[in-house]
Structure 1
Amino acid sequence: MVAELAFRLNNFLYGLSVSVFKNCTPKSWNLKWDEISLRQWEYLSKVQQPIRRMWRRLRNIFDSFRTYADLSPDIRTRRRVNQFLRSRPALSAKEWFEQFWESKAISKQLAEFVYVYFQKYTGLELARIRPTDRLSEDLHIPAVCWFDWQLSFCNDFEQLFGVDLSNRFDPQTLSTIEDLVMFLNHQLLSVNHS
């Protein structure tokens, strides 16, 4: 929808700039493009420069809107996933850890990190997410997150745990929330044992 609006406005503004350009030339010149004198060309260039600048600015604005839409989360999908998750009981961070991760020898600090930060990046209610939820198929992670969430996630992980994931973290290789937590736990264990 935004792209279509930008396309229509782009065409309208182009037509407007052409008509302004045509109306700014003196009628006495009786222009034929192969007979334009240097003086006439200089005049047309001076008249056209502000129009070009205006056109370039407007085009940049609409390109920004189009790019923003491509890079931002899909709010409808996020709402749909959260609506699906509301049928489940919400668990506190402590309950989430005790019920799913304590028996798998996952540290409480790591479980709380995922509970807090994953919700921050996805906008999903992590209190209702279960380890078997699939990242792409059930939670639609690529659609509900900002385009650069992985970088922020890696930076936050490094600040909290001192482990750089930037060259190892690829969410497309992980299927479920459990895979994600186990991957993060493995990264912590490999650093602690080396």
Structure 2
Amino acid sequence: MGILWESYGTSAQDSRFMWQRIFNFLPSLNTYDILSPDLKLRRRVTQGLQTRPALSLLDWQAAYGAPNHIDIAIAEFAFTQLPKYSGLDMAQLLPSDRLEEDLCWTGVCWYDWYLTLCDDIQLQFGVELNPYLEDLEVETLGELLQYLSQQITHTA
């Protein structure tokens, strides 16, 4: 605490600024908890997926991606990025998995996962999704990946 005081000096204005930062920090802890993934739920979903074989990207693409019109670039993107949002291993997910009912997507992901997804799509593929993705109504993982494939191939 002494270090905090020393860095702000001794004026009353500096002291008020330091206290404002502390009081702003405390509610952010609660907000962080609200916006964070539910780790117990994530663990439960992950345990349920353990009975499935973990496929390589190429095996997953051959078995599920190509038959469902999911571009290999999107499958590769999903293999690297979706685990960052959800903590779920893409190698064990199926296109038929329902995002909410089966994977509890809203609970296992960070609250703003779709914004990060849009940013990542923009960075990797140069496609702007922000105006569309938030309102997108998809039920399954396959539908989400098909949508992304369509967006990538239609704008490329």
Q: Normalised by the shorter chain, which TM-score bucket?
A: 0.7 to 0.9
Number of equivalences: 143
What's the counterpart of residue 152 of structure 1?
A: 116
Q: What is the distance in 2 between the residues matched to 1:120 and 1:66?
A: 22
- 1:159: Cα distance to partner? 1.4
Q: CA RMSD in A?
A: 2.2
Change (3 A) 1:139 1:166: same
Identity %: 40
- 1:103: Cα distance to partner? 2.6
Gaps of 5+ in 2: 1-15
Does residue 164 of the first structure (1) align with residue 128 of the second (2)?
A: yes
Structure with greater Cα Rg: 1
Correspondence for 1:82 among 19, 26, 46: 46
Does residue 111 of the first structure (1) align with residue 75 of the second (2)?
A: yes
Contact 2:82 2:90 in 1 (8 A): yes
Q: Once structures 1 and 2 are overlaid, which stretch shifts more, 157-166 or 57-66?
A: 57-66
- 1:172: Cα distance to partner? 6.0
Q: What is the distance in 1 between the residues matched to 2:135 and 2:75?
A: 17
Give the secondary structure class of the aligned counterpart of 2:83.
Answer: helix
- 1:1-194 correspondence to structure 2 within 5 Å: 59-170=23-134, 173-192=137-156
Which of structures 1 and 2 has the larger relative contact order (alpha carbons within 8 angstroms, sep 6+)?
A: 2
- TM-score (normalised: structure 2): 0.81
Q: Once structures 1 and 2 are overlaid, which stretch shifts more, 159-168 or 57-66?
A: 57-66
Contact 2:69 2:146 in 1 (8 A): no
- TM-score (normalised: structure 1): 0.66
